Amino acid sequence: MINDFKNELEKLISEANRKLQEIRGHRLGLSFLENLEIEIYGQNFPLKALGFISQLDFLTFKIEVFDESMINEIESGIRNKNLGLSISKEKKSLIVKFPPLTEETKRNILKSLNQLKEEVRIKARKLRDEFLKTLKNKKEKGEISEDSFYRNREEMDKEIEAFNKKVEEIFKNKEKEVLG
C-alpha cells in the first residue's frame, strides 16, 4: 500500500521535471526545444520528431526539418508558443535565436516557478490526505491492525518529508539556472 503512495509521489516528481524542462533558463539546452509540442495537421508532435535539432550556441539552435513541406507549419507552431524568439529560414532549416533574459523576464519566470512548486505540493497533500483516509477506513473495518496503521502512517510521513526535500532541491536548481 505504501508502495502505491511512493509511486504516486514519484509520478508527481516526474511531472514537475517535465514541466521544468519547458521553462527557459539563463542558458538553454537542447531539451528545451526537443520536447516543445508543435501542432501539425491537428496532432501534437515534439519538435525532435519533426527535425534534427542542433545547438549553435547557448541561445541559438538549428532545426533541420525532416519533411521540407512542413517547414512553414513548424515555424508558425514555434512562433505561436510566444517564447520571444526570432526565427529565420535557411533552405530546409530553421534558425531559432532566443534573446538573453531581462530582469523582468527572470522575475516572471521565478513567479511561475513558485506557482508550479505550490501546485506540486498541493497535489502531494491531496495524495497524503487520500492515503490517510484509506488507512483509517481499513483500520476501522479491521483490515489492518492498529500497529500496521501507525507504521504505514509513519512511513507516509517519511515519504512526504523526502518528497518535499526533493521538490525544494529541483526547484532551487531551476532557480539557479534561470538566474544564471
Residue 115 has pLDDT above 90, yes or no: yes
Local structure of residue 144 (DSSP, 8 states): S
Q: Which of 66, 82, 97 is the last residue of a domain?
A: 97
Residue 128 predicted with pLDDT over 90: yes
- Note the pLDDT of residue 159: 93
Q: Is the pLDDT of residue 117 over 90?
A: yes
Same domain assignment for residues 58 and 73: yes
Q: Note whether 60 and 43 are same-domain residues.
A: yes
Which residue is it, cell 509521489? 9
Examine the domain organization and report whether 87 and 34 are in the same domain. Answer: yes
The pLDDT assigned to 38 comes to 86
Domain end residue (candidates: 97, 114, 143)? 97
Number of structural domains (the chain) is 2
The answer on 143 and 110 residing in a single domain is yes
- Whether pLDDT at 34 is above 90: no
Confidence (pLDDT) at 134 = 92
More confident residue, 118 or 82: 118
> Both 6 and 50 in a single domain?
no
Containing domain of residue 128, as a range?
Answer: 2-20+102-179
pLDDT tens, position by position, 47-97: 899 999 998 888 889 999 998 888 989 998 888 877 778 899 988 899 999
CATH label of the domain that carries residue 32: 3.30.1360.40
**63 with 129, same domain?**
no
pLDDT for 137-151, tens place per residue?
Answer: 998 998 889 899 999
Query: Are 128 and 166 found together in one domain?
Result: yes
pLDDT bucket at 116, cuts 50 / 70 / 90:
very high
**Strand (E) or helix (H) holding 103:** helix 103-141
